[in-house]
Amino acid sequence: MRINPYTTYQSGTGSTGDTREAKTELGKDEFLKILAAQFRGQNPLDPVKDTEFIAQMAQFSALEQLQNISAKLDVFEEDMVWNQYLAMLGKEIYALTTDDEFVEGVVTGITFKNGRFLFQINGTDDHDIAAIISVGVPVNREPEPVLPPEEAVPEVPAGETGDTEEQAGSPEGTGNQGETSPEAGLGEGDGSE
């Protein structure tokens, strides 16, 4: 049996369809590989102090935390922009159209197309945020009055006051028989005139 010395051996460089792009930044894995190589390749007669490695690890840890904070700030910024634009719903705006004409109306909708926020004025036409000249509260709109909450008062059917027949026939009509007011009885022979 004859062995071909030129077999079709393929190394892992692009033959498996794995096309990786060259990295321009070092990541955590690359840093740890370099650090391990430094440990293995250091001069035994003049080793690098462990404090230098600890300092490098601390710097890398700080860098990683800053990257995490940056990513969270990006999300926060995106949320703030959305909230800012959502607050414009119902506001009156003046904008300049692509035909250099002024348009005014109330913001009735907000859309996000092709990486840009677009506003609908009075339910028609999308206008870019850059076209808006001013924003304000609609003039013709009055604030709605705030009504106090309804109290729980029992309803009395019409014609019924809760008086008995005797109370209903009293001359005062108050239904309070037997009670006298300070004015009652004056001038009826009590000696005061």
Domain match, 124 and 96 both: yes
What confidence score (pLDDT) does residue 74 get? 92
Per-chain mean pLDDT for the chain:
72
Q: 96 has which bridge partners?
A: 102
Which residue's structure tokens are 């019409």? 158
Domain that holds residue 75: 28-37+49-83
Q: What's the CA gap between 169 and 150, in Å, rounded?
A: 34
Higher-pLDDT residue of 51 and 48 is 51
For residue 109, being part of any structural domain is answered with: yes
Reduced to 3 states, what is the DSSP secondary structure of residue 146? coil
For residue 75, being part of any structural domain is answered with: yes
Q: Cβ distance 129 to 119 under 8 Å?
A: yes
Over residues 2-18, the pLDDT tens digits come to 555 544 444 444 444 44
Closest CA to 107 of 95, 123, 128: 123
pTM, entire model: 0.40
Residue 59 clears pLDDT 70, i.e. is over it = yes
**H or E, element range at 92:** strand 92-96
Rg of the chain on CA atoms, in Å: 43
For residue 192, being part of any structural domain is answered with: no
For residue 16, being part of any structural domain is answered with: no
Domain match, 65 and 101 both: no
Reduced to 3 states, what is the DSSP secondary structure of residue 39? helix
**H or E, element range at 38:** helix 28-40
What confidence score (pLDDT) does residue 138 get? 73
Domain match, 116 and 74 both: no
For residue 103, being part of any structural domain is answered with: yes
Q: Cβ distance 162 to 132 under 8 Å?
A: no
For residue 127, being part of any structural domain is answered with: yes
For residue 158, being part of any structural domain is answered with: no
Q: Cβ distance 139 to 92 under 8 Å?
A: yes
Over residues 79-112, the pLDDT tens digits come to 898 888 888 888 888 888 778 888 888 888 888 8
Number of domain units in the chain: 2
Residue 56 clears pLDDT 50, i.e. is over it = yes
Closest CA to 117 of 85, 159, 157: 85
Q: Where are the beta strands (DSSP E) in 100-168?
A: 102-113, 116-121, 124-128, 132-136
Percent with pLDDT over 70 in the chain: 58
* Beta sheet of 102-113, edge-to-edge order: 124-128, 116-121, 102-113, 92-96, 132-136
Residue 29 clears pLDDT 90, i.e. is over it = no
For residue 160, being part of any structural domain is answered with: no
What confidence score (pLDDT) does residue 60 get? 83
- Token pair for 100: 């250099």
Supply the CATH number for residue 106's domain: 2.30.30.30
Which residue's structure tokens are 């430094």? 38
Domain match, 93 and 127 both: yes
Over residues 149-191, the pLDDT tens digits come to 676 556 666 666 655 555 555 555 555 555 555 555 555 555 5
